[in-house]
Structure 1
């Protein structure tokens, strides 16, 4: 692809939308310690598929890199994000994995971590955002190409895997929360009604 073609790609609608969502995603995780766990998990449940969608819409292109890109997320920053997520996922952070290379040769179930997987996605997205902030076309092109490659080979799979675990964490807690069943849960109200209440409620007048 020519330089002109790459430049137009970097500033294209799909790329700008990915950068916008990625920036929101990273900011959200950086503020995770300011949120209640229910709110954090609910927002994470919605942001992960949106991020996946925007990454999947990127057009494929080839890029030959001369040098390695600068990485901005330090080990300390990565661990901090991971701990912020873990504070919300708690005992439900670990889940059985089904898409780990070589798992078919394992004699026991393999586990993965929501906090670790989401932190991995954060690391890639934060590096992408910081590369775009340089406003250097060549750096932006290379960062976009690397992120697209990592999406296909690494973090895209991690994202969809931990989304399954987040879904289970949200809804399994709702189904087993005795307080929610006792107070204000419409399902609890239905259980206390006469079995014929539906017929009574929707019976036609005049019959």
Structure 2
């Protein structure tokens, strides 16, 4: 049964604010079928920096359990999100990821997908939000620990790369190539 331990990282102000932003992020992507491209880009340009900030403020904690936390995001839902966002973003879905870890091994630029990046973030956020929704302290603690650990090397860099790509979609005008170029 859930219990609210005072001083627990699970119930800290920073954790609860992070969960609130993560929940908002998930809710936005769950309404993707009702959005226009410009609105998606605009909302993500506001939400992603806030999500990054709140994640950077998460308190430290240690694993209580064995490190396995229940997952809720399904491949079907993930695939549907990617498909819907890719359809919405069209040609703007692909961008050059200059910070990709394999860039040194690549013969050229490493292409990445905004829709896949946003769906990757959704998967992490959805799982942690659902664990918190259940309200079991040990599971919430371990989900918080794993989320913070994966922020440093996995979803944090993904968020930043996608944010840069979305910034380009919103603010950087690219001129189409013509035969005269």
TM-score, normalised with respect to structure 2: 0.89
In the alignment, the residues of structure 1 paired with residue 12 and residue 97 of structure 2 have an alpha-carbon distance, to the nearest angstrom, of 36
Q: Secondary structure at the match of 1:106?
A: coil
1:12-27, aligned counterparts within 5 Å? 12-27=12-27
Q: Which runs of 5+ in 1 are unaligned?
A: 178-207
The root-mean-square deviation of aligned C-alpha atoms, in Å, is 2.0
1:35-184, aligned counterparts within 5 Å? 35-66=35-66, 68-173=68-173
In the alignment, the residues of structure 1 paired with residue 21 and residue 175 of structure 2 have an alpha-carbon distance, to the nearest angstrom, of 33
**How far off its partner does 1:109 sit?**
1.1
**How far off its partner does 1:62 sit?**
2.3
The structure that has the greater radius of gyration is 1
Deviations 1:10-55 (A, max 9, x none): 1110000001011011000110111121111111111111100100
In the alignment, the residues of structure 2 paired with residue 150 and residue 7 of structure 1 have an alpha-carbon distance, to the nearest angstrom, of 23
Q: Secondary structure at the match of 1:80?
A: helix
Count of residue correspondences: 173
**How far off its partner does 1:68 sit?**
1.6
TM-score, normalised with respect to structure 1: 0.78
**How far off its partner does 1:80 sit?**
1.1
Q: Which runs of 5+ in 2 are unaligned?
A: 177-181
**How far off its partner does 1:105 sit?**
2.2
Between the two structures, name the one with larger relative contact order (CA 8 Å, sep ≥ 6): 2
Do the aligned partners of 1:6 and 1:141 also contact (CA within 8 Å) in 2? no
Mark the CA change 1:8 to 1:121 in structure 2 (over 3 Å): closer, same or farther: same
In the alignment, the residues of structure 2 paired with residue 6 and residue 142 of structure 1 have an alpha-carbon distance, to the nearest angstrom, of 17
